[in-house]
Amino acid sequence: MKLTHAIEYGAAKFLLTCLDLMSLKASYRLADFAAGAWYAFNPSRRRTAINNILKCRLAVTREEAAVIARRSFCSFVSVMVESLKTGQYFTESDWRNQVELDISPAAMQLLESKSGIILVSGHFGNWEVAAQLLSYIKPVVGITRKMNNPLVEELVLARKPRNNFRLTPKHDVDGGRFLKILRNGEVLAILSDQYAKDHGMMIDFFGIPASTHTSPAMLHLLTKAPILFGYCVRTGPMKFKLKAIDPIIVKPSGNRENDTRLILTQINTELEKAIREYPEQYLWAHRRWR
């Protein structure tokens, strides 16, 4: 066992214990403090966030972009705080009292059906809470990436899954597990807005080509499982709005590349619309364009 892993594990366990004991107000204060420190002492991520916001023309001046960037850092840390405290605030019988549902009738019909669904979103709002809340309606499977510290990963994974929400590794020997999830009538949740390197397709995002993961489109074309684009935004302390639009269904044309591009363009366009409405709730610190 590496000494650094043990130290990180101890610190993580201490913080989780503190969060469990803290009031919601104190937890948000801690999140704000941690985000402020991250913003102040990580100039690389700060600069990336500000430049991304300016590139997307969501601010005119660098000062305006810095305000959005700072709030974005706070939002990201709040995601972790909120997802860890949902067990104290939501139950199957009363969760709708704190959540505004803006789900199209066609999307709700799918969620209440026995069909598998590909749910696509981005690192926007609180994607962790979104999965937990949706799992009250239909079982949700999220894709997770291995952490560098296996001890912290074990600790976090023991806390993350709630209700009918579970996780599956991004890389696994069972290459057909995503197909099995859809065949079982579950929701496969995919965050598609990270830089996809050479494996992606260049699709406009805020008018700028970005390497975009093709997996949602490829799964849709292969399985015919409908794609739902949705998100969960924070409207107050532990208050959220859960939104899902009409399903994206594309009939194969015979040209897989064109069909894939069409689907990914729709997804990126919907994510853009959401971000323009709540720019401070997007993870701007990620290097989306390279």
Identify the pLDDT of residue 77.
93
Please choose, from the candidates 167, 218, 174, the residue with its C-alpha nearest in 3D space to the C-alpha of residue 192.
218
pLDDT grade for 152, boundaries at 50, 70 and 90: confident
What is the spatial distance between Cα 170 and Cα 162, in angstroms, rounded to a whole number? 19
Ordered DSSP codes for 161-192: --TTEEEEESS-S-TTHHHHHHHTT-EEEEE-
Identify the pLDDT of residue 2.
74
Starting at the earlier edge strand, list the strands of the sheet with 117-121. 99-103, 239-244, 227-236, 117-121, 187-191, 140-144, 165-169
Average pLDDT of the residues in 50-65:
98
Identify the pLDDT of residue 1.
55
pLDDT digits (tens, 9 = 90+) for 5-48: 787 778 778 878 888 889 999 999 999 999 999 999 999 999 99
Q: What backbone phi and psi angles, to 5 degrees, belong to 171?
A: -115, 125
Sequence-ordered list of residues with C-beta below 8 angstroms from that of 5, at least 6 positions apart, any chain: 149, 150, 151, 152
What is the spatial distance between Cα 2 and Cα 189, in angstroms, rounded to a whole number? 33
Q: Are 182 and 118 in contact (CB under 8 A)?
A: yes
Identify the pLDDT of residue 241.
97
Identify the pLDDT of residue 239.
95
**Which segment, 85-89, 197-201, 266-270, is predicted with the most confidence on average?**
266-270
pLDDT grade for 149, boundaries at 50, 70 and 90: confident
Say yes or no to pLDDT of 289 above 80.
Answer: yes
Average pLDDT of the residues in 123-147:
92
Q: What percent of the chain has pLDDT over 90?
A: 74
Bridge partners of 212, per DSSP, are 201
Q: Are 191 and 228 in contact (CB under 8 A)?
A: no
Determine whether 226 is exposed, middle or buried from the number of CB atoms within 10 Å of its CB (0-12, 13-18, 19+).
buried
Identify the pLDDT of residue 84.
85
- Helices 43-55 and 62-89, packing angle to 10 deg: 110
Identify the pLDDT of residue 264.
98
Average pLDDT of the residues in 230-259:
96
Take residue 119 and report the two structure tokens written for it: 């749910």
Take residue 47 and report the two structure tokens written for it: 């600069």
Q: Where are the domains of the chain?
A: 3-281
DSSP β-ladder status, 201-205 and 208-212: antiparallel
The per-residue pLDDT of the chain, averaged, comes to 92
Identify the pLDDT of residue 35.
94
Q: Are 132 and 163 in contact (CB under 8 A)?
A: yes
Say yes or no to pLDDT of 163 above 80.
Answer: no
Say yes or no to pLDDT of 220 above 60.
Answer: yes
- Write the single-letter amino acid at 77: V
Sheet strands (E) in the chain: 99-103, 117-121, 140-144, 165-169, 187-191, 201-205, 208-212, 227-236, 239-244
